[in-house]
């Protein structure tokens, strides 16, 4: 009787401590490494570099998405642009295949929407804080002190504040939450890009926004991932399609925390670089810029030859942890990229 | 009368069983309807990288779920750089389940590597290897190499130590007690050494959920009790069988030392396996000097019987040869868990031998342990071991 009970107890504890071992899928799978080796496995593949994950946030959509606001004209002819920005801090998002992270968002995404205006426009931004903590919007640029989003914390669960100021100066600027502890509010994702166009428009181009950011998913004040537009390796497995002989203009903003610098290297080309975008004459013609925290600028370039070109941080640690991508340059008049031979055979 | 006897037997069984029934009921309640009551706090996922092997163009990490909740292995990295990898059999780990993470990587010999594993909430766990070395492949050459090392470290020094036998045979009773106490001192040092080694291995390689120090303590005590019981049986039969009491004691010492040397063999094999070759040369020289004293420990009790050369050699082999098996296992199929277990068993075996020796001195020495010969012998034994251990 005792023995029976004891053995029952043992079986019971075995069931408690070793619940059903998960079943492996049958059949071998293969994957290719960086160096081209083909690896076969009877198990599963974990590969954030080339795995095409379905992400809630679409970096491809964000790339060319500019938010001009609700436009109207004041009696004196000034253009009024109205925006509504909602902050939240309870969202759990899959940031890399299988990795779930609590993102704090402006309008549901990291980065928040790209706010775009023309110099001299009046901006009216209704900020609603639906988070559980206090948040604000602090714009880099020129504005009155009470519109700075620092000393006017907006309470959570529906608190509101209306930021109103004249757009300026011309250039590309970040905006971000400025509630203490600041680092925490920034690294969780409360930031975005604010573009002020000159009154005389820049030349037409294929324009895009790249926010260089990092994710510290285990809160050890070191980034576990880096990216252009949040999702690591995204533009590597989803190359950005552009055309030869077409002007490309990138508004690039560095929001990486913890690491003092970031940089941007372009392959097979050089770009004109306008630091902060405040001057209409480029300061550099280079393939490498170094960016400190919230440092930003505008890059302009054209490709002469079709094909695949990498762009990435030349701080290789960052690129090997996600901040890397590919431009797929198509020649609209000639053959497609797929027909190009790489290397010598 | 018989009926009431049965009745009371039933009652005894029932009273023994009832607490079990309540324990089971409580468990069922806690895991069932009462689960909400205890559902507080945040359970964090935890994995431990138990083992890292460097094979041809690939790094393999054995990962165990050592937390309280199931985890999912989602990413691998080498030196904090993300790498594509395969997980076999799969990436979902229940509690205590292990998986093999295969990371294709062109690693370089003798360079340090840190392997990182990230789980689904973004937490990264890592383990560092000081110098990459190819995992040893089972081959005849290597097996012979390990056998030679084991012989150098185990058998030869023990045999040399046994050569003290004629010397011990000729000395006075007081001096003989000195040497017996010295043996106990030597052994106590070895036992502490084994425990320290076991705790160190478990701290470095086993997850905290194994309760490393308590595991060592439990194994040591169980080993002590088991061998103590078996040893007493052996000694009590000694008078009637062909074994004499000194032979029985020497045999127990040999077995205890053999178990200890098995642990040493594991350490040497593992050191070679991890590529710290220079370290293992040192280890071998040190162990050889150190182990010479173990021969003395066997010789001391044997000196009071007739000289039985065959038995003496057999005991030398029992004490020394496990170093060879240890080196094989340590080199080819090293697992930190088994090595902790063996060090624990070795420590228990030695404690048991110490008790037997002290008891023997006590009986022979007119129920006294506090004579000058015994106390100084013990102290010298510990000191000699400490000094030779500096060489290791």
What secondary structure, in 3-state letters, does chain B show? CHHHHHHHHHHHHHHHHHHHHHHHHHHHHHHCHHHHHHCCCCCCCCEEEEEEEEECCEEEEEEEECCCCCEEEEEEEECCEEECEEEECCCEECCCCEEEEEEECCCCCCCCEEEEEEECCCCEEEEEECCCCECCCCCHHHHHHHHHHHHHHHHHHHHHHHCCHHHHHHCCHHHHHHHHHHHHHHHHHHHHHHHHHHHHHHHHHCCHHHCHHHHHHHHHHHHHHHHHHHHHHHHHHHCCCCCCHHHHHHHHHHHHHHHHHHHHHHHHHHHHHCCCHHHHHHHHHHHHHHHHHHHHHHHHHHCCCCCCHHHHHHHHHHHHCHHHHHHHHHHHCCCHHHHHHHHHHHHHHHHHHHHHHHHHHHHHCCCCCCCHHHHHHHHHHHHHHHHHHCCC
Domain boundary, last residue among B65, B99, B129:
B129
User: Which of B105, B129, B153 lies at the terminal end of a domain, its last residue?
Assistant: B129
Q: Which of B94, B129, B164 is at the close of a domain?
A: B129
Query: Closest-CA residue in chain A for B83?
Result: A47
Residue A345: pLDDT band with limits 50, 70, 90? very low
pLDDT tens profile B308-351? 788 888 888 898 898 888 888 877 777 777 778 877 887 887 78
A100/B122 touch (CB, cutoff 8 Å), yes or no: yes
pLDDT of residue B28: 83
Q: Which chain B residues are closer than 8 Å to A320 by Cβ?
A: 81-82
Is B87 close to A232, i.e. CB distance below 8 A? no
Structurally, chain B folds into a number of domains equal to 2
Nearest Cα to B97, choosing from A24, A262, A77?
A: A24
Residue A149 has pLDDT above 70, yes or no: yes
Specify the pLDDT at position B363.
80
Inter-CA distances, B168 with A37, A82, B114, B117, Å: 67, 102, 53, 58
Task: Inspect the interface and report whether the beta carbons of A47 and B84 lie closer than 8 Å.
Answer: yes
Same domain, residue pair B116 and B255: no
Look up the CATH number of the domain holding residue B107. 2.60.40.10
State whether B164 and B267 are in the same domain.
Answer: yes
Note whether residue B9 is domain-resident: no
Arithmetic mean of pLDDT, A163-180: 96
| Residue-wise pLDDT tens digits, B84-117 | 999 988 899 998 899 999 999 999 988 899 999 9
Q: Are residues B197 and B346 in the same domain?
A: yes
Q: pTM value?
A: 0.75
- Distance (Å, whole) CA B126 – CA B131: 15
Q: What is the pLDDT of residue B92?
A: 93
Q: Do A5 and B17 touch (CB under 8 A)?
A: yes
The residues of B whose Cβ lies within 8 A of any Cβ of A are 13, 16-17, 20-21, 23-24, 27, 31, 57-58, 72-77, 80-82, 84-92, 94-97, 99-102, 104, 106, 118, 120-124
Is the same domain home to B93 and B203? no
Mean pLDDT (whole number) for A201-209 = 96
Closest residue by Cα to residue A69 from A111, A116, A127, A120: A116
Contact A97 B74 (CB under 8 A): yes
What contacts B354, CB < 8 A, 6 or more positions away?
B184, B187, B188, B191
Q: Indicate whether B251 and B380 sit together in one domain.
A: yes
Q: Is A33 on the interface with B (CB under 8 A)?
A: yes
Q: Residue A111: pLDDT above 60?
A: yes
- Residues B227 and B319 placed together within one structural domain of the fold: yes
Structure tokens at A334: 């000639």
Interface of A with B in 303-322 (CB under 8 A): 316-317, 320-322
- Residue B125 and residue B144 share a domain: no
Residues B255, B220 share a domain: yes
Q: How confident is the model at residue B243 (pLDDT cuts 50, 70, 90)?
A: low
Contact A46 B89 (CB under 8 A): no
Tell me which chain B residue has its CA closest to the CA of residue A21: B94
The reply to whether B114 and B145 lie within a common domain is: no
Report if residue B8 sits inside a domain.
Answer: no
Residue B59 shares a structural domain with residue B190: no
- Comparing CA positions, the residue from A94, A295, A113 lying closest to residue A191 is A113
Range of the domain at B111: 47-129
B377 shares its domain with B334: yes
**Does an H or E element contain A125, and which?**
strand A122-129
Distances from the Cα of A262 to the Cα of A213, B10, B344, angstroms = 9, 78, 52
Tell me which chain A residues have a C-beta less than 8 angstroms from the C-beta of B25. none
Q: What are the structural domains of chain A?
A: 59-330 (2.60.40.420)
Give the whole-angstrom CA distance, residue B265 versus residue B84. 37
Tell me the nearest-neighbour CA distance from A226 into chain B, angstroms.
Answer: 11
Please say if the pLDDT value at position A328 is more than 90.
yes
In a domain? residue B351: yes
Gap between the Cα atoms of A5 and B310, Å rounded: 51
Which residue in A35, A98, A218 is closest to B123 by CB distance?
A: A218
Q: How far apart are CA A250 and CA A310, in angstroms?
A: 15
Q: Measured on CA atoms in the order B195, B199, B205, B208, is the torsion positive or negative?
A: positive
Percent of chain B predicted with pLDDT > 70:
88
Count other C-beta atoms under 10 Å from residue B210's C-beta: 18
């Amino acid at each position: 009787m005792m023995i029976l009970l004891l053995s029952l107890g043992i079986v019971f504890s075995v069931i408690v401590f070793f619940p059903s071992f998960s079943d492996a899928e049958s059949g071998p799978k293969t994957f290719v490494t960086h160096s081209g080796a083909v690896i076969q496995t009877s198990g599963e593949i974990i590969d954030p570099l080339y795995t095409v994950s379905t992400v809630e946030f679409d970096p491809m959509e964000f790339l060319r998405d500019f938010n001009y606001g609700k436009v109207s004209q004041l009696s004196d002819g000034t253009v009024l642009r109205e925006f509504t920005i909602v902050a939240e801090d309870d969202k759990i998002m899959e940031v890399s295949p299988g990795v779930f992270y609590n993102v704090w968002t402006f309008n549901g995404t990291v980065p928040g929407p790209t706010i775009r205006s023309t110099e001299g426009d009046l901006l009216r931004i209704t900020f609603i804080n639906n988070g559980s903590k206090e948040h604000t919007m602090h714009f880099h640029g020129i504005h009155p002190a009470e519109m700075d989003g620092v000393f006017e914390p907006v309470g959570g669960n529906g608190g509101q504040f209306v930021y109103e100021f004249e757009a300026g100066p011309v250039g590309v600027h970040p905006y971000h939450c400025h509630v203490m502890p600041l680092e925490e509010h920034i690294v969780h994702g409360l930031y975005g890009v604010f573009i002020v166009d000159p009154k005389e428009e820049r030349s037409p181009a294929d324009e895009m926004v790249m926010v260089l950011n990092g994710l510290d998913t285990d809160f050890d004040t070191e980034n576990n991932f880096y990216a252009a537009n949040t999702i690591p390796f995204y533009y590597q497995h989803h190359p950005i399609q552009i055309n030869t002989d077409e002007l490309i203009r990138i508004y690039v903003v560095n929001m990486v925390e913890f690491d003092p610098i970031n940089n941007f290297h372009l392959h097979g080309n050089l770009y004109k670089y306008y630091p902060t975008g405040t001057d209409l004459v480029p300061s550099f013609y280079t393939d490498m810029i170094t960016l400190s925290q919230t440092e930003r600028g505008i890059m302009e370039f054209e490709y002469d030859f079709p094909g695949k070109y990498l762009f990435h941080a030349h701080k290789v640690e960052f690129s090997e942890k996600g901040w890397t991508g590919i431009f797929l340059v198509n020649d609209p008049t000639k053959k497609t990229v797929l027909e190009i031979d790489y290397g010598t055979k | 009368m018989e009926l009431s006897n049965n009745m009371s037997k039933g009652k005894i069984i029932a009273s023994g069983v009832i607490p079990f029934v309540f324990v089971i009921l409580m468990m069922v309640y806690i895991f069932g309807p009462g689960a909400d009551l205890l559902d507080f706090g945040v359970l964090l996922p935890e994995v431990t990288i138990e083992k890292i092997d460097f094979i041809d163009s690939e790094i393999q990490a054995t990962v165990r779920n050592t937390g309280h909740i199931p985890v999912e292995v989602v990413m691998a990295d080498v030196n904090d750089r993300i790498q594509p990898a395969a997980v076999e059999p799969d990436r979902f780990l229940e509690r205590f389940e292990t998986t093999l993470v295969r990371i294709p990587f062109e690693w370089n010999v003798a360079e340090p590597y840190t392997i990182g594993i990230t789980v689904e909430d973004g937490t990264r766990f890592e383990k560092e290897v000081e110098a990459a070395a190819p995992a040893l492949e089972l081959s005849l050459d290597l097996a012979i190499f390990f056998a030679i090392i084991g012989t150098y470290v185990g058998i030869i020094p023990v045999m040399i130590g046994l050569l003290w036998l004629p010397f011990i045979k000729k000395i006075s009773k007081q001096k003989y007690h000195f040497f017996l106490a010295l043996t106990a001192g030597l052994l106590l040092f070895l036992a502490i050494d084994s425990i320290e080694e076991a705790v160190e291995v478990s701290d470095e390689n086993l997850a905290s959920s194994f309760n490393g120090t308590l595991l060592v303590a439990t194994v040591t005590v169980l080993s002590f009790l088991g061998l103590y019981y078996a040893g007493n049986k052996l000694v009590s039969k000694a008078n009637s069988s062909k074994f004499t009491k000194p032979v029985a004691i020497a045999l127990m010492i040999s077995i205890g030392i053999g178990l200890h040397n098995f642990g040493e063999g594991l350490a040497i094999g593992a050191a070679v396996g991890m590529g710290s070759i220079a370290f293992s040369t040192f280890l071998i020289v040190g162990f050889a000097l150190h182990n010479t004293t173990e021969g003395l420990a066997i010789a001391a009790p044997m000196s009071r019987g007739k000289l039985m050369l065959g038995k003496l050699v057999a005991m030398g082999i029992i004490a020394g040869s496990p170093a060879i098996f240890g080196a094989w296992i340590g080199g080819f199929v090293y697992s930190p868990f088994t090595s902790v277990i063996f060090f624990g068993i070795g420590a228990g075996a030695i404690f048991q031998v110490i008790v037997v020796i002290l008891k023997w001195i006590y009986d022979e020495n007119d129920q006294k342990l506090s004579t000058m010969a015994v106390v100084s012998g013990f102290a010298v034994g510990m000191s000699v071991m400490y000094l030779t251990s500096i060489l290791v």
